[in-house]
Amino acid sequence: MRFYSAKTAALLAVVLMMTSAMLIVMEVQPVGAQLAQNQPYYGPLKAGDVPDATINPIAFLSFRPNPIGLGQSLLVNFWLTPGLASNQRYTPLGSMVITITKPDGTKDVRTMASEPATAANYFEIAPDQVGEWKLKFEFLGTYFPAGQYYDGKVVLNSSGAPYRYGSAYYTPSSTAEQVLTVQQDFVWSWPPAALPTDYWTRPANLNNREWWPILGNYPGTGYQGYWGGAMWDQLYPNTNPYDSPGGMGYNFHPWVQGPNSAHVLWKQTTAIAGIIGGPAGQYGMTGGGGPGASGTPSVIYAGRC
């Protein structure tokens, strides 16, 4: 009897999990959504399609850094202005084309859709040839039939997608070819800041990203922050990541070597800004708040005397 009871319980658990998954899917999709026969398409207008509005968008293309080193990551952004209405997007793959011409003449042609409403998207590449590259963005035009839209598609019988629009045609648009220079040497996007050799104060300027190893721990446990538990376990294996309770110090200060000279602690918290240090890595906080502002930490790491 125990064997059959356990088996029955297992089957019931599986059914419950499947039911939960189905409910999640139903929440994501509009209730009772059905795709309409007429859907958006790219390219020239088809015979018989007369749009309520014709929009002439302008195409833009941007990439950085330029120049760039061989094998570095290049961020490529492309977009159209004006953007689209809510729940519309350039979904047909092929309406947005980016042509990348390498120095040896070979071409990398990418066809992409857009993000919702923004009429934009992006990707990254790592140039593998030294020399002059050329990038061009072409929008082939898109026709949006009248109807109720959800996630770029025309749907029927949907109470969860109240976005109904008239028909519109976005005419083709393109950029000129833009030149990317790829060199052998790495191109630094930000000059590194040398560690201080003299007296320095908090808060550390956000431009001094390389200072984070000397700034100590952000209030919290060793498993919090940008680095998380992986970096903590690497630097301090088998070490308690939590602060000692009740002020019972353990002569241990993580993330940084304690100073041998006298130093001053802040007695008043004011606008908090600067690099935090420790598990936050080279990331920091912008200014905000003031004396007595709510949400300030109990351990003061920025302020004034």
pLDDT tens for each residue of 99-119 = 999 999 999 999 998 887 789
pLDDT at 96 over 90: yes
Decide if 140 contacts 148 (C-beta within 8 A). no
Decide if 143 contacts 167 (C-beta within 8 A). yes
pLDDT at 268 over 60: no
Q: Where are the alpha helices (DSSP H) in the chain?
A: 2-28, 228-235
Out of 5-19, 45-59, 218-232, least confident range: 5-19
Which residues are 64's β-sheet partners?
75
Supply 276's token pair.
Answer: 């935090």
Helical (H) or strand (E) element with 149: strand 147-150
State how far the Cα of 152 lies from the Cα of 40, in Å rounded to an integer: 8
| The CATH number of the domain covering residues in 35-183 | 2.60.40.1930
Side chain identity, residue 26: M
Tell me the pLDDT tens digit for each residue of 78-93: 999 998 887 788 876 7
pLDDT of residue 7: 45
Supply 162's token pair.
Answer: 């109240």
Residue 70: name the closest of 178, 180, 186 by CA.
186
The model's confidence at residue 21, banded by pLDDT at 50, 70 and 90, is very low
Distant-in-sequence, close-in-space partners of 247: CB < 8 Å, separation ≥ 6: none
Question: Please, is 277 exposed, middle or buried when counting C-beta atoms within 10 Å of its C-beta (0-12, 13-18, 19+)?
Answer: buried
pLDDT at 24 over 90: no
Side chain identity, residue 64: R
pLDDT of residue 264: 58
Across the range 146-161, mean pLDDT stands at 77
